[in-house]
Structure 1
Amino acid sequence: FIDSEPYSWNMSPAALGEALAEAAARGKLPKAVVIVNIFGQSADMDPLLELCNKYHVPVIEDAAESLGATYKGKPSGTMGKYGIFSFNGNKIITTAGGGMLVSNDIDGLAKARFWATQARDQARYYQHSELGFNYRLSNILAAIGRGQLKVLDERINARRAIFARYAAGFSDLPFITMMPEASFGRATRWLTVLTIDPDAAGVTAEQILEELQAENIEARPVWKPMHLQPLFTKSLYYPHAATSCSDYLFANGICLPSGSNMTEQDVDRVIEVVRHSVGY
């Protein structure tokens, strides 16, 4: 697993370079590199793609959280061999579940569609020469998704406005740092995320989450890094620097309510509770 870097919170090119060099030396390069774009922001794709091309490793771009984000003017999710999007119920637009696979590999897409629709052979009866799956999105849910695509820009603008209001509400608190927006692209601000310096604030992220919960406000920690998951404790991990960036984000990060329909009053209430929890 590859660490994040601090300017976009996405995959670290430095850590990936180290991992691929070691894998090449062992003669065991990965079958693919999955670049995950978290919280509505693209990873720094150019150096990551350059490294993967150097070692002839294909890239799968996981844009589940970054639909509508851009990287140097290019849509997030369109720069790897394959791109993956999610339409889960918590995403910026939704079909209540499911997602989308995109690629310029026409043959690969045809194979994926074949597997996703039960891998049925072309016959008058049900016949299967390969193991298939039932990953089809229903016509009704697909229609909902097509309708929601029309309001994607509106949703992005709403999320960015919510983020900006939070940022203004915490601007005088030096121990709170909002998730940065990297200079190479435009984030959707799918979720408003911040980190807190517990030593300077006198409280931890967990304590703030507990106070928000006491006020019936749903907030969450940031994603737990894969190398910290019990399933993967024996897996290799390559940090960005001497101190792991993703470990720090997990220990000190908070995801605040960010729904597109939040009112200014809703956001202000969350700000008030967070400020109260740190004594302001």
Structure 2
Amino acid sequence: MSAVRTVLGDVPATELGITNAHDHLFFRSARLPGQELDDPDAALAELRAFGELGGGTVVQWTPRGLGRRLTELAEVSRAAGVRVVAATGLHQAAHYRPERPAGEPARLAELFIADLTTAPVRAGLIKVAGDFHGLSPHARRVMTAAAQAHHATGAPIAVHLELGTGALDVLDLLCGRLAVPPHRVILGHLSRSPDTGAQRELAGSGAFLAFDGPSRAHHATDWRLLDQLTALAEAGYADRILIGGDTTTAAARAASGGGPGMPYLLRRLLPRLAAELGTAFTEQVFTGNPARAFAADWR
């Protein structure tokens, strides 16, 4: 049965509602010391603020080993009344301590599959990561494992693209050699490399394109976002677009850190997109597209 696997169980895709397609409630990284998202009360406040503006679902892309806090994730989801999708998978090697090697694909795939199918709180997608304009050996091992886990479970694969680059290499590996259907792949951070021609090519592959990161002050996201989304919509690819916030530091939270955080998507960004591109467009990218991108025929 096609459904979205949330931390509180499987739900029909039509019940997701307005969806933040890429964000973090819990996250810690060796690259961001002192900015951990590890406070359940702050996570609950942020999720409630999103829900109070009409948000129905948040997709957390925090993978294994980076403080997913799955038990607390289920607790804050239940308390806030907002659905949450968790991730398995692995990020770039730089986000982990040197003593934590990735392991071989077959063993990693076993861990990912367990997270997706038998864990007490289950993940609903697999997170992987590329590198700047290419793929490291670590990335290739993790993506190989992710493809194996996808074929075993049906789970979608979400890809961190470093500064929005390397997407064609990712698709060559995942959808070419590893035979993952393109519509099961979500390419993240496309707004960080605002090449509208390349974005149209990627959308034409059938993959989903995630535009995320209004909380990132050091990335030119918001001021170029409208042009990128308009170009895709005019080319007939509005059905491939997803939008998220990607809050990765405590300082970026709206409820406790100064913002803009999750609420910004619905308080400012969605109304602007509706005014410029129409309500049919915003309903598609915030509700209709996530329902297709994150649902799976779970095996």
| Greater helix share, structure number | 2
Please tell me whether Structure 1 or Structure 2 has the larger radius of gyration of its CA atoms.
1
Identify whether the pair has TM-score above 0.5, normalized to the shorter chain.
no
Q: TM-score, normalised by structure 1?
A: 0.32
Q: TM-score, normalised by structure 2?
A: 0.31
Structure with larger RCO (C-alpha < 8 A, sep 6+): 2
